Amino acid sequence: MTDARLIYVVGPSGAGKDTLIACARVAVDGRLPVAFAHRYITRPADAGGESHVALTEAEYAERLGRGLFAMAWDSHGLRYAIGREIDLWLDAGMTVVVNGSRAWLPRALALYPHLVPVVLTVAPDELRRRLIARGREAPEQIEARLARAAAFQVDAPSAVVIDNSGPIDQAVEALLTVLRAPLRQPA
């Protein structure tokens, strides 16, 4: 048995998932058997935000139809996926970190018994500030995101909650603690 597990990072838009994952990747820098998965998104590569593999709707549909995605979901008018390569990495004994979807978490838990949900939270005022600062959405879209963030709860007893309201280095250290922890067997 290996300590391979899927670290499934979720949180509302603006919580800092991309920043947290990017900073953890730099901190790990090959010193742990950890792979950081990219997402496939039907959003142009130069649209800003996270680094991702940009796909057209047709490319996405073709890959989805051929079973090349381990996970796939729609959100905010875009289509997202995590590739099947994560299964190869897990089989090779690596821990895999993905930026997941809160809504897809129940399916991910069913598919990956060693999944560790990491729920990123942010104080509401800080979340509003971040959403405004990134300048991607109109005010009504920001309000909708804030309402969704307040209403959506993650129901996973094994979840690790990380508050990312403060300095990023605190949240990174919390995620690194999760990455260094030995595998816990499901109850």
* Residue 33 is assigned to a ligand binding site: no
Is position 1 within any domain? no
Q: How many domains in the chain?
A: 1
Q: Where are the alpha helices (DSSP H) in the chain?
A: 17-28, 57-65, 85-91, 105-111, 124-134, 139-151, 168-180
Claim: this prediction has a pTM higher than 0.85: yes
Is 185 among the domain residues?
Answer: no
11 belongs to an annotated ligand binding site: yes
Range of the domain at 142: 6-180
18 is in an annotated binding site: yes
List the chain pLDDT tens, one digit each, 187 residues: 466 899 999 998 888 999 999 999 999 998 999 999 999 999 776 766 667 788 999 999 999 999 999 999 998 789 999 999 999 999 999 999 999 998 899 999 999 988 999 999 999 899 899 888 888 788 898 888 888 888 777 878 789 999 999 999 999 999 999 999 876 654 4
Residue 16 annotated as binding? yes
